[in-house]
A = this chain, B = another copy of it.
């Protein structure tokens, strides 16, 4: 069983911080180094126990790393993996935690092919364990326990890297699922990116003076709209094609509901509501 000695985490927010905490609590790494641009955030992450050391330069932070995990918003991932690959020791492996995979993996692989002959030491990852919260203060060492982590090997991925990263997430108690980057984005568009769009529209469409008369329903239905707007802008733009396909389907069902309400067609309305209920009930609370 491979155990990483020196893990560098670029971007120590909720996800990066939780990886650091998880590695430290389970003694899965000798050193965890947090890398970021903001010294204040880094110092907070260290104070919270997420990392042993910190660095504001990628080159310095990854100098002794055998694993680098990039946990930044998606648009920054490809360039940061490439920069880390330039400075990390030979044999180091790389992954990320981005919420979209097709664009991220394609761009990252294009940059790495310029550096490596043959197979690449990078594989895309997506631990499905986000929250509307952000920042290392929300980090938890058990964030990935029982959560699905998608890894997205491609024809360019070194098999040993796939195995090592699968083992890495399993050691944090994640349930690892392999999927192509394209299939990942198709699924996550429906299960995460479209719901975000819908929740944001619902929140934005609610008149502010009516907020005191909301209850648990509105509060649940819009909770994810509190997520970081810039992070979500990047996710929605990186996965725009699939998200728009999901939106087409959503709007089709919504139009059917509208027609049933407009026509006073009780049986049809009850039928669609029951369909939504059965889908939701299948998940449990």
Contacts and interface: CB of A to CB of B under 8 A. Distances in A.
Contacts of A249: 205
B282 A262 contact: no
Interface in A6-50: none
Instruction: Work out how many copies of this chain go into the complex.
Output: 2
A221 B195 contact: yes
A2 interface: no
A247 B259 CA distance: 12
A129 B219 CA distance: 12
A204 interface: yes
Nearest to A226: B280
Nearest to A209: B187
Given A198-B254, A264-B240, A279 B225 contact: yes
A79 interface: no
Which of A217, A262, A275 has the most C-beta atoms of chain B within 10 angstroms of its own C-beta?
A217
A135 interface: no
Given A236-B269, A261-B236, A147 B215 contact: yes
A225 B277 contact: yes
A24 to B, nearest CB: 24
A118 interface: no
A12 B222 CA distance: 30
Nearest to A150: B213
Given A250-B202, A254-B201, A273 B207 contact: no
Interface in A156-201: 177, 187-188, 190-192, 194-201
Contact of A220 (B223, B253, B258): B223
If over half of A's interface residues share one DSSP class (helix, strand or loop), that class is named, otherwise mixed; here it is helix
B261 A203 contact: no
Contacts of A270: 229-230, 233
Given A226-B277, A276-B225, A217 B200 contact: no
A257 interface: yes
Interface of A: 128-132, 147-148, 150, 177, 187-188, 190-192, 194-208, 210-230, 232-233, 236-237, 240, 243-244, 246-247, 249-254, 257-258, 261-262, 264, 266, 269-270, 272-277, 279-283, 285
Interchain residue pairs A-B with the least CB separation, the first 3: A200-B276, A203-B276, A229-B273
Given A148-B215, A195-B221, A244-B262, 10 more contacts: A132-B217, A188-B213, A194-B202, A198-B198, A203-B277, A218-B283, A233-B269, A236-B261, A240-B264, A251-B254
